[in-house]
């Protein structure tokens, strides 16, 4: 039986391998999601990130990486993800947990007991038909409106996840810095062509949620200078705030 310690040893080995470090960040993320699915005994799963307030409905995914999906699962994934039943079974209970903290990692049995889950028509007719049953979900808010999540599924007939499985996923979500996306990732490099290096730096930090005081400290410039740069950036992109600035680029992501 594979122990938590063995899984952590493999995780550390993966994170420190020169081959892994040399990979582009998108490839690194894809490979880690695949490895993590295996470590927690999952047939399939996905990592995603996006924008949205946790207690509201305007949750907008920006990017998703899937692993282990069959052709049918992949083709029906958008339909299932956007259904009202998925909101009822997954989104609403997790939002309630997020009222108290900015991150949560849960398994199916922590939300729904065996009887409730197995007798639910959507579970029986849709999820089970796709060979999705027990699940593990980890959601972490990186700023007030930027989130990342990890979701794994076990096949029909497999047991629910153990506490050690949740601990491993939580460890990855909390500790692996390059699994914590930034809004600036979704902005095309062509956006910055006409900006000076300093304006480019200020804009990237704005998009990643830093306050003006934090930007001034990060770049070793005065708050007055930051304010001037922000005014110029907002004028160029015809917006009035950092939120509007991020929304402009995320709409086309």
Give per-residue pLDDT as tens, 100-141. 888 999 999 999 999 999 999 999 999 999 999 999 999 999
pTM given for the model: 0.78
Which residues, in sequence order, are bridge partners of residue 80?
Answer: none
- CA 105, 73, 177 angle in degrees (round to 5)? 35
Tens digits of per-residue pLDDT, 41-60? 999 999 998 877 655 655 66
52 Rama class: left (phi>0) / alpha (psi -120 to 50) / beta: left
User: Is the distance from CB of 118 to CB of 112 less than 8 angstroms?
Assistant: no
Q: Which residues of 67-78 are buried (b: 16+ CB within 10 A; e: fewer)?
A: bbbeeebeeebe
Which pLDDT tens digit goes with each residue over 141-199? 987 778 899 999 999 999 999 999 999 999 999 999 999 887 777 777 777 778 888 89
pLDDT band at 247 (very low <50, low <70, confident <90, very high): confident
Q: Which domains does the chain have, with CATH numbers?
A: 4-181 (3.30.450.80), 184-250 (1.10.10.10)
**Which has the higher per-residue pLDDT, 215 or 63?**
215
Closest to 149 (Cα-Cα) out of 159, 136, 132: 136
Task: State the helix-helix crossing angle for 25-39 and 4-16, rounded to 10 degrees.
Answer: 170
Residue 179's pLDDT is 93
């Amino acid at each position: 039986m594979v122990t938590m310690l063995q899984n952590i040893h493999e995780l550390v080995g993966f994170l420190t391998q020169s081959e892994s470090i040399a990979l582009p960040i998108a490839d690194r993320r894809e490979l880690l999601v695949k490895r993590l699915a295996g470590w927690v005994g999952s047939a399939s799963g996905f990592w995603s990130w996006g924008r949205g307030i946790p207690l509201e409905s305007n949750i907008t995914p920006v990017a998703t990486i899937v692993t282990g999906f069959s052709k049918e699962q992949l083709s029906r994934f958008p339909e299932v993800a956007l259904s009202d039943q998925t909101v009822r079974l997954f989104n609403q209970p997790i939002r309630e947990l997020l009222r108290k903290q900015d991150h949560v990692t849960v398994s199916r049995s922590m939300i729904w007991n065996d009887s409730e889950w197995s007798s639910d028509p959507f579970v029986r007719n849709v999820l089970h038909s796709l060979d999705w049953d027990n699940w593990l979900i980890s959601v972490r808010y990186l700023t007030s409106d930027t989130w990342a999540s990890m979701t794994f599924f076990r096949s029909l007939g497999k047991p629910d996840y153990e506490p050690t499985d949740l601990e491993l996923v939580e460890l990855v979500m909390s500790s692996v810095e390059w699994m914590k996306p930034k809004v600036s990732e979704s902005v095309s490099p062509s956006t910055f062509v006409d900006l000076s290096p300093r304006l480019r730096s200020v804009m990237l930090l704005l998009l990643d949620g830093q306050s003006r005081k934090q930007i001034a400290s990060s770049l070793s410039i005065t708050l007055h200078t930051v304010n001037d740069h922000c005014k110029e950036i907002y004028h160029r992109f015809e917006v009035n705030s950092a939120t509007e600035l991020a929304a402009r680029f995320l709409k086309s992501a």
